[in-house]
Structure 1
């Protein structure tokens, strides 16, 4: 499980890093002054002379240095050669900079070297006469020593049968938390036992970074570049994903959130659910045109981690992923069309959106991506008085979105919106749906689809448990967010996505020679 909704030390440090990087960016200093501010951040976050977290204050500050570098979009440093914490700062001080791969990184000296998989007898073992653990072990890996069971790790195959039968729950099966959270099997151990990411498998969902209890994994950010854009006077729109509900308790209404975003530097706020409305109608038309005449089934396209997994792990099924633009790209392209000189910042729950935005055919539409957690750091850096904020009017046409579009934030919401729209057009047509959340479950669903079990279906995949509301960049407990999202969906000004005032934009937004879907 992840720690969303629990204010752990790891989360506190992560948030402090975002806040201090934002403060440095707002200070708008250059040269040696910038170097000095960056060097000072670890001492601000980890003050004093004695370590309180890892018992080594120098190690803790070194880890914070790496987190600061990543938050500014800079690469981690090699441990076997000298390199200053400010190395490459001039490269980060560019408002037009995108992410350099890799996006998700392991801070090696923060890693606890957790075992990959381990079945172990704990001190709770009572040395019972029945010893069912020994009897069920298929490899005879459990022996009786000194009045208790002992597991021979060389023979153990980690099947867990002994775990299931122990009447005292004295045998535990553990797995490295980051690897257990990775549905792609992309995390293994390096030669020193530290976590290492296989980037040929990684889809940047970010679940590993929010499940590491040692805060040893972090993704790169654009906080510094975004604020550089503010500093030079750019008009930057905040494109906010519907999963914002419940993330900021002091900004409970969209009007309050809009006021806060203006206070930090955005020119205006747009609800990404308006792009989801367009996505719903476009995907419904695609399904009707393609299934079953051209394709056995069609899969949704809005989750970048899901679509990347599908295209890399099941290349023969790449054609089955809808070519519809994601809500982020639909919304950004719409706003760029209306205001070509402006810049677009997607704010949402997703680490993989950062990777999507850096693709060649999306770069011209989306300039920045922030997670909700990074935005929280920026808001804190601005010392906003929430009580003094006057709620901005959101009853303008620009901000209208349907309940169906807002429902994209939760697992099952995309497929439901598309199927409902098809049913409205063709009441007698049945649209069969299958959905999965979490990449491990998504892979199982595609394996069944490849075997022909889902012919004629609309498949929805969400890379994160619960959907976007459980994304790596969220702050709040996904269960409570789901309840508040349902209310947000019901309170929408209308439920039918086709009532969107932007529906006429679909055709010219897609009329782009660089668009690749």
Structure 2
């Protein structure tokens, strides 16, 4: 659960910290073998039935944190297998991004409805009356559900005046808006990668921490230790993510990790806003019935997988991450750019052939927290920097919260054409996003601008966040108030947008050849 410090959070943080320390200190790769013993010391288990199982799970998590594939449970191999090849300063990524450590999975039931001890054996028995399949009977004065007849509709749960009937669903599957999680032959969770969009909501929801995404921490640190300058491109959701790190110290904090400087992805959000505003005015309704925003990669991939016939109605504007990377590399030729944000799906977006040259690595806030811990960066001792990170608008920073993208685009349209009326509809969470697109396909949103966010609450609730999403949203609002101007149209970078698009078109053409 995001914002909750638990044993799951602690282990994740230890793993990111140890991998970061392993990278910063360097040395023999065989040291990797001892890390599970450092993270899980002693002879007595703390979290599971066996200390050996705990270390085996940590070993697989360490491999994923190095960007490596899982080892098969029936394969006899050291956890450092392949580590030496991954100790480089370049991107290491082989699908899939989201992985299930099978022997860490609790094999939760997919879905069930059962009667708890709270049943009072009441006279009315409303549960038996509402059940459409006659699956509930009274046994020894208490309600009893016949699992073979039950269709898990939940009507009995709603009818029970004592809340004694519980409807349970596997947490990872319940969180997956793509319905991509099912059971394998042993009852363990399994991912259908043809459906998965790598939003990471299953990762967040698994209480057993059996679902893990791959990381690029090690490779990023090796790049920081090279002679090539590396820039941190921080997402608008950064506000309030690192406890004790105010906005005035963000630049120096990242410099302490080895970054050359910090740039705001909100600058790219401004450019994306202007482009989407222009697209909407030109395309809707003259060429297409509605337009959907493009900045959330999980939402975009979901739409293309599930609604291919209306996928072309998603804006073709480059995302804030890509535009920021492109702008940074234009200002600093030969540099590398690391996107740092709350999103797991951005790792996949940055691996597409058309944008590999612009974003070299992607890290989440949670992973960067491990780097801060490994380097023992003392936020309190850092000097504040009066120079702003960049000149971005309040609307650009507002991309971090649900509804913020559509609001920014509408504000830009009104600046360009005050007479233009724009109707908007937005959804958060892939379940709701799919409903939105179904209604749009049916013609319910003709003339609308649609915004979809895969994570409920927006980017502030992404899989890689640290802070409580509600608190992050409040911090984002404070960040917006400190912006030098209100709308994206006022950005000093707007004039170079065509040049950045031309670079994109040239690169895309070369990769198609």
Indicate the TM-score class for this superposition, using the shorter chain for normalisation: over 0.9
1:271 matched residue in structure 2: 264
Give the C-alpha shift of residue 363 in structure 1: 0.5
1:203-222 alignment runs, 5 A limit: 203-222=197-216
Offset at 1:75?
Answer: 0.5
The 2-side partners of 1:252 and 1:140 are apart by 60
Corresponding residue for 2:501? 510
What is aligned with 2:386? 393
Distance 1:215 1:311 in 2: 29
Establish whether residue 74 from structure 1 lines up as the match of residue 68 from structure 2.
yes
Query: Structure 1: any 5+ residue segments left out of the alignment?
Result: none
Matches within 5 A, 1:443-454: 443-454=434-445
Q: Deviations over 1:313-357 (max 9, x none)?
A: 000011101000000000000111111210000000000000000
Choose which of 46, 52, 75 in structure 2 pairs with 1:52: 46
Deviation string for 1:346-373 (max 9, x for gaps)?
A: 0000000000000000111000000000
The corresponding residue for 1:239 is 233
Distance in 1 (CA, whole Å) between partners of 2:353 and 2:12 is 30
Mean CA deviation greater in 294-303 or 492-501: 492-501
Higher mean displacement: 367-376 or 384-393: 384-393
- Structure 2 match to 1:145: 139
CA contact (8 A) 2:29 2:84 kept: no
Structure 1 residue 391: Cα displacement: 1.5
1:34 and 2:29 matched: yes
Matches of 2:270 and 2:417, distance apart in 1: 19
Gaps of 5+ in 2: none
Residue number in structure 2 paired with 1:62: 56
**Structure 2 partner of 1:200:** 194
Look up the match of 1:369: 362
TM-score, structure 1 as length reference: 0.97
The 8 Å contact of residues 114 and 167 in structure 2, kept in 1 or not, is answered as: yes
What does residue 123 of structure 1 align with?
117
Alignment of 1:56-455 (within 5 A): 56-253=50-247, 255-395=248-388, 399-455=390-446
What do residues 220-248 of structure 1 show as CA deviations (whole Å, max 9, x unaligned)?
A: 00001001112223211000001011111
- Structure-2 residue corresponding to 1:492: 483
- Aligned residue for 1:144, secondary structure, equals strand
Query: Residues of 1 paired with 2:66 and 2:149: CA distance?
Result: 46
Q: Give 3-state SS (helix, strand or coil) of 1:208's partner.
A: helix
| Rounded Cα–Cα distance in structure 2 between residues aligned with 1:90 and 1:375 | 22
Deviation (angstroms), 1:430: 0.7
CA distance, structure 1, for counterparts of residue 15 and residue 442 of structure 2: 47
Distance 1:98 1:434 in 2: 38
Match of 1:465 in 2: 456
Equivalent-residue separation in structure 2 for 1:499 and 1:132 (angstroms) = 61
- Aligned partner of residue 514 in structure 1, secondary structure: helix
Superposition deviation, residue 393 in structure 1: 3.4
Contact 2:414 2:420 in 1 (8 A): yes
